[in-house]
Amino acid sequence: MPAVQETIDQVRQIDVDQYKYGFETLIEMEKAPKGLNEDIIRFISAKKDEPEWMLEWRLNAYRRWLTMEAPSWARVEYPKIDFNDIYYYAAPKSMAGPKTLDEVDPELLRTYEKLGIPLREQEILAGVQESKIAVDAVFDSVSVVTTFKKELAKAGVIFMSISEAIREHPDLVRKYLGSVVPVTDNYYATLNSAVFTDGSFVFVPKGVRCPMELSTYFRINEKNTGQFERTLIICEEAAYVSYLEGCTAPQRDENQLHAAVVELVALEDAEIKYSTVQNWFPGDSEGKGGIYNFVTKRGDCRGANSKISWTQVETGSAITWKYPSCILRGDNSRGEFYSIAVSNGRQQIDSGTKMIHLGKNTSSRIISKGISAGKSNNTYRGQVSAHRKATNARNFTQCDSLLIGNNCGAHTVPYIEARNSTAQFEHEATTSKISEDQLFYCLQRGIPEEEAIALIVNGFVKEVIQELPMEFAVEAQKLIGISLEGSVG
């Protein structure tokens, strides 16, 4: 059955030509020469004032990267990227050395104001914003400012840019960096390891519940630059953190590369919630321009009873290649993945998750909703795997897609791998199977089936989206009303 008008209207509102964050900030930038070689890596490392081991780590990654080939298994098509035609480092000129908010270039502050990102603590405290959020703002290759650092430090939470962390907490960074996504994990992760410029570092010590939401806002501004951020979040025993990530870029005719790596480590009883609203420039309706988003995100439930939850709302990027994953190593650990991916124009999305069950009694849940419109292609690709010793592994996967119009494609590619008899995996992609009981309950009360299904699914999605802070949820909120009628796998 085709999509209802309500859904069509809602998707149109976030169509590619409605992109609101396409403005450019005119600010003097300092850039490394174009191209990629060992000297550029030395330049980045020197700019960041990094210790020798970090430079070695980068160079090692670069040498490995030279021997690797770009992956071609995803259902995305793009011309070969010329890695020597990209600036790997671009920072606002006024950004020499760490700054307090008062010293930050007013032009930059205006940019974040326009994007609706709260950077002034006093305003946030004065109640301009509803909830209290600490923000790390990353502009091209550098972190502009990190708010609420002092207050967080009181609780023992370390929240700063990764460049700062490498200087101030080298032991912690060295211990965890690359321990979840190894340097040689994949082509783009290896490239990132060589040239990453900034990103956020979060460390929540044992027993601490992070007192506020942490958030990083990524902005690509400069032409011909690539953004390579690296995020590392560590939750020690019984700690908790909720982290949000937002991203936008100006409207440009050429494609820009964004290759990030995010690593999460949850020790015993710890919980990490990671939410993303990805709104990179998607290109225009003819497919010109837009960001290539090649991201490696992985969480390691290292300790028993730990939990990692990924939530993503994807509306941007010309190409998305992203599989936020959980390695369920600790016994009784739990991984979750909730995703809404909307593609429009000529966007291509190949996204999903991996749940790797290694410990005993581990469980995971995957809920994925893909909506394709225009001439886009939207692929869910997910792997669920239980190893021989992962007794009582449990997974539930549900992925639904909706097509609007007749020029787009929706695809589902699940890989289900069971290696012991106690594993219990369920994968479903039909609307009729959405909790028969709930459906029956609604139908019995005279709600038509289509509305009932929408109600059930949206009830769930809403629960997730409502946990995002308002300013990041603008796009997400618009999707809430989208129902699941006419679902196809």
Q: If you write DSSP's letter for every residue of 108-172 in order, what string do you get?
A: HHHHHHHHT----HHHHHTTSSSS-EEEEEEETTEEEEETTHHHHHHTT-EEEEHHHHHHH-HHH
Residues near 53 by beta carbon (within 8 Å), at least 6 away in sequence: 170, 174
Q: Under rule CB under 8 A, which residues in 319-338 are in contact with another protein?
A: none
Phi/psi at 317 (nearest 5 deg)?
75, 140
Amino acid at 421: S
Distance between CA 342 and CA 327 in Å, rounded?
A: 26
| Nearest-angstrom CA–CA distance, 177 and 263 | 8
- Return the residue of 26, 97, 171, 388 that touches another protein, per CB under 8 A: 388
Burial of 55 (0-12, 13-18, 19+ CB in 10 A): middle
- CA dist., res. 309 & res. 123, Å (int): 30
Which one among 7, 279, 317, 401 touches another protein, defined by CB under 8 A? 401
Q: With binding defined as CB under 8 A, does residue 67 bind another protein?
A: no
Composition of the chain by helix, strand, coil, percent to 5:
25, 35, 40
420 touching another protein, by CB under 8 A: yes
Q: Does 13 bind another protein (CB under 8 A)?
A: no
- Rule CB under 8 A: is residue 1 a binding residue for another protein? yes
Based on the shown chain and the rule CB under 8 A, indicate whether residue 407 belongs to the binding site for another protein. yes
The residue from 4, 416, 474, 480 that contacts another protein (CB under 8 A) is 416
Q: Is 435 in the site for another protein (CB under 8 A)?
A: no
Q: Cβ closer to another protein: 276 or 395?
A: 395
Q: Does position 410 bind another protein by CB under 8 A? A: yes
Is residue 486 part of the contact set for another protein (CB under 8 A)?
yes
**Beta bridge partners of residue 355, listed in sequence order:** 326, 384
Task: Choose which of 81, 86, 172, 413 interacts with another protein (CB under 8 A).
Answer: 413
- Is residue 409 within the footprint of another protein (CB under 8 A)? yes
CA of residue 223 relative to chain centroid, distance? 22
Asked whether position 403 contacts another protein by CB under 8 A, the answer is yes
Q: Which is nearer to another protein, 60 or 184 (CB)?
A: 184
CB of 418 vs another protein, minimal distance in Å:
4
Q: Which pair of structure tokens corresponds to residue 112? A: 């974040």
In 363-382, which positions are buried (b, 16+ CB within 10 angstroms) versus exposed (e)? bbbbbbbbbbbbbbbbbbbb
* Nearer CB in complex with another protein: 432/466: 432
> Of 54-62, 136-144, 147-155, 480-488, which segment contacts another protein by CB under 8 A?
480-488
- Write down the least CB distance from residue 343 to another protein, Å: 13
The SS3 assignment for 456 reads helix
Residue 456 as a binder of another protein (CB under 8 A): the answer is: no
Cα atoms in the Cβ-side hemisphere of radius 13 Å centred on 470? 7
12 touches another protein (CB under 8 A): no
Asked whether 375 and 42 are in contact (CB, 8 A), the reply is no
3-class secondary-structure state, position 213 = strand
Question: Phi and psi of 222, rounded to 5°?
Answer: -70, 150
Map residues 344-383 to x or -, x wherever contact with another protein holds by CB under 8 A.
----------------------------------------
Residue among 183, 331, 363 nearest 263 (CA) = 183
CA–CA separation, 142 and 29 (whole Å): 11
When the beta carbons of 170 and 486 are compared against another protein, the nearer one is 486
Contacting residue, 183, 194, 408, 453, with another protein by CB under 8 A? 408
Tell me the closest approach of the beta carbon of residue 406 to another protein, in angstroms.
5
Per CB under 8 A, does 424 bind another protein? Answer: yes
Closest to another protein by CB, 177 vs 399, is 399
How many residues make up the chain in this entry?
Answer: 489
By CB under 8 A, is residue 98 in contact with another protein?
A: no
- Binding residues for another protein, total number by CB under 8 A: 42
| Nearer CB in complex with another protein: 120/411 | 411
Q: Which is nearer to another protein, 5 or 72 (CB)?
A: 72
Determine if 404 is a binding residue for another protein (CB under 8 A): yes
Shorter beta-carbon distance to another protein: residue 131 or 407: 407
Token representation of residue 181: 């996504």
Between 179 and 392, name the residue whose CB sits nearer to another protein. Answer: 392
The residue within the footprint of another protein, chosen from 64, 360, 365, 411 (CB under 8 A), is: 411
Q: How far apart are CA 231 and CA 217, in angstroms?
A: 12
Closest by Cα among 422, 415, 427 to 387: 422
Instruction: Return d(Cα 385, Cα 425) in angstroms, integer.
Output: 9
Q: Smaller CB distance to another protein: residue 162 or 408?
A: 408
**4 lines the binding site for another protein (CB under 8 A):** no
100 part of the interface to another protein, by CB under 8 A: no
Strands, DSSP E only, in 329-485? Answer: 334-343, 348-351, 354-357, 363-372, 377-386, 394-403, 409-418, 424-428
Residues that bind another protein (CB under 8 A): 1-3, 72-73, 388, 401, 403-433, 486-489
